[in-house]
Structure 1
Amino acid sequence: MFGYTEEQIASFGLTVGVGAFMLYMLFIIGQLAWESKAGKFGTFVLFLGLAFGMVGFVAKLVIQWFLSR
């Protein structure tokens, strides 16, 4: 498709697509904290609890980048 292999399309979708989805999820968590008037500590707890799974994905990308260098 457009001169790209399936592997290149999947890699692009995984990095850019999932990254954009993660930014959107952070926006949703921030909006939830704002609407609930959670305060500083409540906002921290919301981001810690709901966004902690994203740390693994980002860590995987960083580890792959260091190993490929």
Structure 2
Amino acid sequence: MIFGFTEAQISGFFLTYGIGAFIVFMLFIIGQLAWESKAGRFGAFVLFLGLGVGFTGFLAKGVIQWWLQR
């Protein structure tokens, strides 16, 4: 036990909220890249689409799990 929590509780917390916070941070980084490169609307869309496809699976997994459990 670490700080009164089991390893399963800690890993469950960070798999849910830690990765979610990391996704928000990555969106900030992609926005900064689009802003500094003066990509315009279409260029920013391509950056968000290309770099953001990686974590859409994680978000879809959460939605699918919620839907199946209700």
TM-score (norm 2): 0.91
- List, as ranges, runs of 4+ consecutive aligned residues in structure 1 with deviation greater than 3 Å: none
Deviation, 1:26, is 0.4
For structure 1, the 5+ residue unaligned runs are none
Aligned residues: percent identity?
A: 70
Instruction: State the secondary structure of the residue aligned to 1:59.
Output: helix
Instruction: State the secondary structure of the residue aligned to 1:50.
Output: helix
Partner amino acid, structure 2, of 1:3: G
What is aligned with 1:13?
14
What is aligned with 1:61?
62
What is aligned with 2:37?
36
TM-score (norm 1): 0.93
Partner amino acid, structure 2, of 1:15: T
Deviation, 1:3, is 3.0
Deviation, 1:4, is 2.2
Task: State the superposition RMSD in angstroms.
Answer: 0.9
For structure 2, the 5+ residue unaligned runs are none
- 1:26 has 2:27 as partner: yes
Q: Matches of 1:63 and 1:4 in 2, distance apart?
A: 27
